[in-house]
Amino acid sequence: MAIQTKKYAAALYQAVKESQGKKLTEALANFVKLLIQNRLLGQADTILADFKKYYNEQEQITAVEVSTARPLSPAIVKDLTKKFSSALGQTVELNCQVNPELCGGAVFRIGDYLIDGSVAHRLNTLRQKIYSNQS
């Protein structure tokens, strides 16, 4: 089933890319009708998630998730986006999340990579170090 939803997502991407303006609404409506016909409306969420992934892949967009203890100012967001874009050589889509548990610093997640520069992580390391010294 996983392969099937991926195929639908790819097809949707191509249909959307080819059609513009009024045709786009029509294409989307047809896609929904197709899903109903094939009894796949229940899978719509999965297809949507796959579409998002496929879209990013095709358009060379990298999603970067940023978690911080406090909300970031727009200036920092802009700066980060610029830095990531130049580092990765791709368009970067920055998703900001606020997680007070981090205490400070930031955690970035780019695809399968996690860069943890939070205070919470450092505190954890410190705790482990103290425990291991104890034994």
Partner 1 sequence: MNKDQIIEAIKQQIQDYQSTVKVAKVGTVIEAGDGIAKISGLGEVMASEMLDFGHNVFGVALNLEADFVGAMILGESKDIKEGDVVESTGRILEVPVGEAVIGRVVNPLGQPLDGKGEIKTKTFYPVEKIAPRVITRQQVTTPLQTGVIAIDAMIPIGRGQRELIIGDRQTGKTALVIDAIINQKGQDVTCIYVAIGQKDAKIARIVTELASRGAMEYTTVVVAGAADPAALLYLAPFAGCSMGEYFMDQGKDVLVVYDDLSKQAVAYRQISLLLKRPPGREAYPGDIFYLHSRLLERAARLNKDYGGGSLTALPIIETQAGDISAYIPTNVISITDGQIFLESDLFYQGIRPAINTGLSVSRVGSAAQIKAMKKVAGRLKLDMAQFRELAAFSQFGSDLDEATKNQINRGQRLTEILKQGQYQPLPVVDQVVILYAALNGYIDEVAIEKVKDFQQGLLDFCAAHGTKVMAELAKEKQLTESIEKDLKKLISDFKATFKN
Candidate list 20, 37, 73, 135; residue touching partner 1; CB under 8 A: 135
What DSSP character marks residue 1?
-
CB of 105: closest distance to partner 1 in angstroms? 9
Site size for partner 1 (CB under 8 A): 18
32 near partner 1 (CB under 8 A): no
CA distances from 78 to 66, 94, 103 (A): 13, 9, 22
- Here the tokens at position 28 are 């989307």
Could you say which residues in the range 74-113 bind partner 1, by CB under 8 A?
109, 111-113
CB of 135: closest distance to partner 1 in angstroms? 6
Q: Calculate the CA dihedral of residues 38, 43, 45, 48 and round it to 10 degrees.
A: -50
Candidate list 2, 37, 42, 73; residue touching partner 1; CB under 8 A: 2
Could you say which residues in the range 113-132 bind partner 1, by CB under 8 A?
113-117, 121-122, 125-126, 129-130
- Binding stretches for partner 1 (CB under 8 A): 2, 109, 111-117, 121-122, 125-126, 129-130, 133-135
